């Protein structure tokens, strides 16, 4: 009964202020209900569980290119290991080339639809009036004994109906023969593979990605990942070992995933000697095929063929590029646990900038990403030049950016180098930390862009890199059309995709590292995530939980707001009060800045006065009554308190959350003597009131002005309400907009 009386007393005592308590929206509630629950496969800490499993597929592939018909014919043998606890009655494989067949989504309407004037290329995107062969033709599928297996093609997916279930713990070997129609990349929007034609010398560069039937993922949280490929949501694949034989015209140079195992058969003696020197060249690249040699190759087209053989271990895919136009340079990159050959392949149209930037860009990415996560484990990292693309595969990437008549602007040079770094970086996310791109694009694009921008900032300081303020225009967009980051890849609007899946997660991680958690703890936790899930299949919950596990920081409020909503950051310095104790009167002065009723955009109420010029006004500092101490017998030394307050300044600041996202509050105090002080309040100050918070500060010196987040560590969408005096901030914000 005694405790009930106390509770009733407390309830009555706060009743008078109850009307000021806002409706609680639960921004600081746990996000458990938004994530799949922990299981023996995935723990509550974000690590793989003791019963975690994943499937595996090994491939032996033989394929050939006919450059006259633009066809690739291939035959593969797949050994698929069922490591799941389930028996499988059928298998699903990806055949993404079928997306290029007429009738599939090609996003032509994003070009604006039919107008009174429309280019032929736009019309081709819209309705493909000029049709051409595309896609994959399956010729047969047979078991290890040569017996035909029943199968069904469903657009970009292939289902194999097994004559008897593949039991848990068993494996199956089967073979597929197929043909791909290699398409002209210029005829597709968002084309990642095909050939690029060069009319001047009548040659092609073949870029072959997702070019063979590949096993779909089967996992513990989804079963079969058998979502159709619609160009945006990319690939979810199993790891395995590959042995690949590629037959191409004899004068072609081939760049491919893996180690070239028959150098003596496909490279000249001079080329092999150059490769040996390049393997010891750590300071700069050497030519394996020189520009002059590449020009000679262009002139004479061989009718004979040559077979290049590659071996790749523990990768989830293989890709290759083939052309007689290729210049080839290479250098060695020494990492703490591995030496990697960084290489570039490019036509003469890439000169001179590709020689200057490409292989060096590969090196910079290898070093920064390895330091941030784990050492790059593969033997090669390759950058191939093409047009209008940036596309990643294990150990090899296809990257756009070229000079015009040998000249390139600094902006274009930055864009080209940035693309190379980004696509090489995808070796970590998702080629090794193998998240599901088809479902959660942000898990690979966002995490990769975060490290890609870090590489630019650290290794190319002369160029700009993404900062939190860069996401402001996107976050200020129409809330009716904005999607949260936690949107499936194919469900986002095409024009929002870059901001939502690349830039916004990048800014979120930058804020965690630089402002919310701090570099030391964040870097440890981020590296822990990468190492926990390398060669495995993480989900968003595994990432969120690992960051919390590794930092001992409750970040549910951040993940919920930043990833699951489209709310904005807009912290309004709504009110400023100034207090000062005057010894002779034994009072506390108070000056609440009022009187100026001019409305400020974004404030939502009357603004405070423009400055502190009127000075403080007195309030009485009264002794504490004995009753306020309850049963405590000790008392405050009120004389000492007056001494501590003597000549000092008390400022009471009221912050209003106008945007919805709770964030730390970063305060810059500028004092009357011109000195400055930075102070940061944690996001937890919003726990009891998510809309409005008042904090009181004791300062030795008189304050001249106050600025909230002046360096824009947070993407505050309205800087006009961030500073007192208010007019000073309005002027500063206008200057910033002009810049």
Q: Where are the alpha helices (DSSP H) in 565-662?
A: 638-645
**Closest by Cα among 8, 176, 169 to 76:** 176
**Closest by Cα among 391, 375, 385 to 432:** 375
Tokens of 50: 């003791």
Phi-psi region of 578 (alpha: psi -120 to 50; beta: other; left: phi over 0): beta
Q: Is the pLDDT of residue 107 over 80?
A: no
- Per-residue pLDDT reduced to its tens digit, 644-693: 888 889 999 999 999 999 999 999 999 999 999 999 999 999 999 999 99
- Per-residue pLDDT reduced to its tens digit, 40-54: 999 999 999 999 999
- Per-residue pLDDT reduced to its tens digit, 441-456: 999 999 999 999 999 9
Q: Is the pLDDT of residue 609 over 70?
A: no
Strands 396-399 and 380-385: parallel
Measured between alpha carbons, how far apart are the two ends of the chain, in Å?
67
What CATH number should be reported for the domain whose range is 57-238? 2.60.40
Q: Is the pLDDT of residue 154 over 80?
A: yes
Cα(433)–Cα(453) distance, integer angstroms: 19
Q: Where are the alpha helices (DSSP H) in 75-141?
A: 120-127
Average pLDDT, integer, range 536-549: 98
Tokens of 657: 């959350």
What is the distance, to the nearest Å, from the Cα of residue 184 to the centroid of all Cα atoms in its chain?
29
Q: Is the pLDDT of residue 589 over 90?
A: no
Asked if 15-44+435-567 and 57-238 have one fold, the answer is: no
> Which pLDDT belongs to residue 739?
47
Kindly list the domain boundaries of the chain, sorted by start residue: 15-44+435-567, 57-238, 251-434, 571-625+635-738
CA dihedral 122, 127, 132, 137 (to 10 degrees): 120
Average pLDDT, integer, range 122-134: 88
Average pLDDT, integer, range 172-194: 92
Tokens of 523: 């870097």
Token pair 């591995």 is found at 338
What is the distance, to the nearest Å, from the Cα of residue 519 to the centroid of all Cα atoms in its chain?
18
Q: Is the pLDDT of residue 738 over 60?
A: no
> Which pLDDT belongs to residue 497?
86
CA dihedral 595, 598, 600, 605 (to 10 degrees): 60
pTM flag (> 0.85):
yes
Strands 223-224 and 218-219: antiparallel
**Architecture per CATH, 15-44+435-567:** Orthogonal Bundle (1.10)
Percent of the chain with pLDDT over 90: 78
Give the model's confidence band at 515: pLDDT under 50 very low, under 70 low, under 90 confident, else very high: very high
Among 274-283, 322-331, 577-586, 704-713, the least confident range:
577-586
Q: How far is CA 456 from CA 364, 368, 404, 418, 542, in A?
A: 9, 10, 24, 7, 28
């Amino acid at each position: 009964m005694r405790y009930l009386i106390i509770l009733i007393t407390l309830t009555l005592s706060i009743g008078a202020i109850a009307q000021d308590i806002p409706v609680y929206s639960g921004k600081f509630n746990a996000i458990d209900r938004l994530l799949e629950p922990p299981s023996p496969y995935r723990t509550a800490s974000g690590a793989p569980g003791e019963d975690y499993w994943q499937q595996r597929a090994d491939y032996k592939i033989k394929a050939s290119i006919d450059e006259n018909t633009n066809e690739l014919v291939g035959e593969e043998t797949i050994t698929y290991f069922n490591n799941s606890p389930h028996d499988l009655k059928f298998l699903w494989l990806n055949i993404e080339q079928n997306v290029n067949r007429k009738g599939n989504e090609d996003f032509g309407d994003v070009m604006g639809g039919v107008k009174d004037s429309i280019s032929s290329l736009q019309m081709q995107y819209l309705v493909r009036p000029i049709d051409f062969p595309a896609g994959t033709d399956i010729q047969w599928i047979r078991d290890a004994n040569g017996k035909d297996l029943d199968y069904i093609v469903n657009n970009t997916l292939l289902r194999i109906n097994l004559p008897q279930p593949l039991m848990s713990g068993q494996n199956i070997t089967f073979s597929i023969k197929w043909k791909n129609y290699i398409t002209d990349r210029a005829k597709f929007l968002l084309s990642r593979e095909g050939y690029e034609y060069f009319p001047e010398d009548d040659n092609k560069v073949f870029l072959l990605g997702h070019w063979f039937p590949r096993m779909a993922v089967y996992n513990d949280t989804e079963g079969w990942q058998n979502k159709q490929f619609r160009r945006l949501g990319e690939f979810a694949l199993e790891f395995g070992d590959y042995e690949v034989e590629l037959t191409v015209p004899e004068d072609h140079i081939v760049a491919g995933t893996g180690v070239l195992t028959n150098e003596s058969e496909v490279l000249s003696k001079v080329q092999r000697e150059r490769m040996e020197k390049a393997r010891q060249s750590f300071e700069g690249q050497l030519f394996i095929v020189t520009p002059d040699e590449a020009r000679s190759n262009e002139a004479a087209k061989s009718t004979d063929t040559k077979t290049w053989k590659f071996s790749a271990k523990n990768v989830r895919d293989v890709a290759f590029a083939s052309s007689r136009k290729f210049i080839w340079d290479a250098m060695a990159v020494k990492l703490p646990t591995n030496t990697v050959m960084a290489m570039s392949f490019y036509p003469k149209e890439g000169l001179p900038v590709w020689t200057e930037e490409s292989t060096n860009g590969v090196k910079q990415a290898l070093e920064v990403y390895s330091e941030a996560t784990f050492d790059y484990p593969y033997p090669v990292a390759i950058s191939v030049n093409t047009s209008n693309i940036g596309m990643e595969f294990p150990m090899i990437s296809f990257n756009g950016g070229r000079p015009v008549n040998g000249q390139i602007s600094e902006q274009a040079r930055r864009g080209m180098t940035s693309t190379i770094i980004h696509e090489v970086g995808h070796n970590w996310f998702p080629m090794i930390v193998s998240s599901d791109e088809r479902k959660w694009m942000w898990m690979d694009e966002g995490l990769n862009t975060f490290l890609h921008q870090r590489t630019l900032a650290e290794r190319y300081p002369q160029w700009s890199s993404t900062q939190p303020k860069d996401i402001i225009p996107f976050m200020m967009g129409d809330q009716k059309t904005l999607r949260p980051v936690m949107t499936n890849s194919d469900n986002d609007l095409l024009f929002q995709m870059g901001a939502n899946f690349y830039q916004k997660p990048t800014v979120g991680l930058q804020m965690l590292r630089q402002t919310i958690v701090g570099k030391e703890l964040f870097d440890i936790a981020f590296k822990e995530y990468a190492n926990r899930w390398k060669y495995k299949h993480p989900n968003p919950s595994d990432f969120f939980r690992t960051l919390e596990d590794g930092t001992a920081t409750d970040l549910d409020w951040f993940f919920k707001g930043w990833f699951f909503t489209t709310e904005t950051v807009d912290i309004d310095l709504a009110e400023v009060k100034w207090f000062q104790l005057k010894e002779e009167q034994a009072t506390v002065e108070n000056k609440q800045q009022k009187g100026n009723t001019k409305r400020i955009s974004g404030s939502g109420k009357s603004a405070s006065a423009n400055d502190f010029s009127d000075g403080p006004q007195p309030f009485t500092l009264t002794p504490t009554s004995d009753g306020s101490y309850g049963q405590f017998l000790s008392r405050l030394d009120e004389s000492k308190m007056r001494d501590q307050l003597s000549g000092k300044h008390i400022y009471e600041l009221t912050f209003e959350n106008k945007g919805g996202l709770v964030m730390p509050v970063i305060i810059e105090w500028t004092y009357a003597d011109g000195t400055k002080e930075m102070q940061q309040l944690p996001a937890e100050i919003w726990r009891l009131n998510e809309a409005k918070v008042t904090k009181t500060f004791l300062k030795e010196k008189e304050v001249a002005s106050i600025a909230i987040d002046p360096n824009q560590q947070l993407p505050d969408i309205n800087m006009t309400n961030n500073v007192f005096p208010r007019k000073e901030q309005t002027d500063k914000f206008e200057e910033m907009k002009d810049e």
